[in-house]
Amino acid sequence: MADKQAGAVAILGVFVADVAFRASRQPKMGETLIGSEFTLGPGGKGSNQAVAAARLCIDVTFISKLGKDAFADLALDTWRAEGVRTAVTQVDDDYTGAAYIFIEDNTGENAIIVCPGAAMTISADLVENERDAISNADVFITQLEQPVAAAQRGLGIARNAGTATILNPAPAGPVDDAIFPLCDFVTPNESETEGLTGLPVTNVDEARKAADVFLEMGVGTALITLGEAGALFHNREVSEHIPAYRVAPVVETTGAGDAFNGGFAAALARGIEPLEAARFGCAVAGISVTRPGTAPSMPTLQEAEKVFRP
């Protein structure tokens, strides 16, 4: 590990332009509602996580694929402004991804439809071409918005290099069982956990039972995020419920999972032991939900350290 960059994170994932609508409720089929607010901004789980880690003063390389259009310009401008290194392929024959986000006015809860566009053609070979960026990082993180084969190749490269591996299995979907032994950490939310384990997660005790299934699959540590209840950190040595950080009233929860993952990866890359890194991730998420947007809601290192309580 001595030859690795200090505090480096490599992220394989998707950029999408977040097209967000706020209203009192979602419309029924055939119905039109007047909304209260509209915003267009940078999003995508991987890109959001890259912004989160970069704002925490970590050296971040983001691996992805874009079209050549206005949304691609938004992506490149965002990463440039945030200091994210890019290993990004652009193509003429596909579009840059977009996401419809509905946000409920009263609660800040959300519902999302993602169309990844060009990022859905990220291949295992494309990831192989970025082997050095993954191998030279302290932490590698990926999700399931791009093809699973690409995620699995990235995790395999990282594992062989001794890089810590995080799979944020979102959105949950069919995966090869061989992916789980490549994961030092998995970071699903309640619904993703149920989708992957078949077990419901409505409280901490149920989360522990589901976390045991992940361990049986070969995962090192299951880190199940529980919304306003915080997160469960569970492996064969430790099982600890981490309460959520309540910094201010909740405005929007859309980017909370990405804030957690970016914060957790950043802390690991700094050499913080995993349980404390998970607590730090909860602090980062606790700040993000007090602000609108996804990438724009991510806090700086100074802001996170101000509220983080080890």
- How far is it, in rounded angstroms, from Cα 231 to Cα 164? 20
Strand segments (E) across the chain: 8-12, 16-23, 37-43, 59-66, 85-90, 96-104, 110-117, 139-142, 164-167, 185-186, 221-225, 231-234, 239-242
Using left for φ > 0, alpha for ψ between -120 and 50, and beta otherwise, residue 218 falls in: left
Q: Is-catalytic flag, 73? A: no
Give me the sheet containing 96-104, strands edge to edge: 37-43, 16-23, 96-104, 110-117
Residues 6 or more apart whose Cβ sits within 8 Å of residue 306: none
* Cβ neighbours of residue 2 closer than 8 Å, sequence gap 6 or more: none
Tokens at 140, concatenated: 């590698």
Of 253, 208, 207, nearest in space to 228 by CA:
253
Best CA proximity match to 13, nearest among 192, 158, 142: 142
Among all chains, which residue has been given the structure tokens 């997660």? Answer: 201
Alpha-carbon distance 19 to 42, whole Å? Answer: 9
Helix or strand (DSSP H, E) at 31: none
Instruction: Give CA–CA dist 166/149, Å, rounded.
Output: 15
What b-and-e string marks burial along 147-163, b requiring 16 or more CB atoms within 10 Å of the CB? bbebbbbbbbbbbebeb
Q: Is 189 exposed, middle or buried (0-12, 13-18, 19+ CB in 10 A)?
A: buried
Catalytically active residues are 258
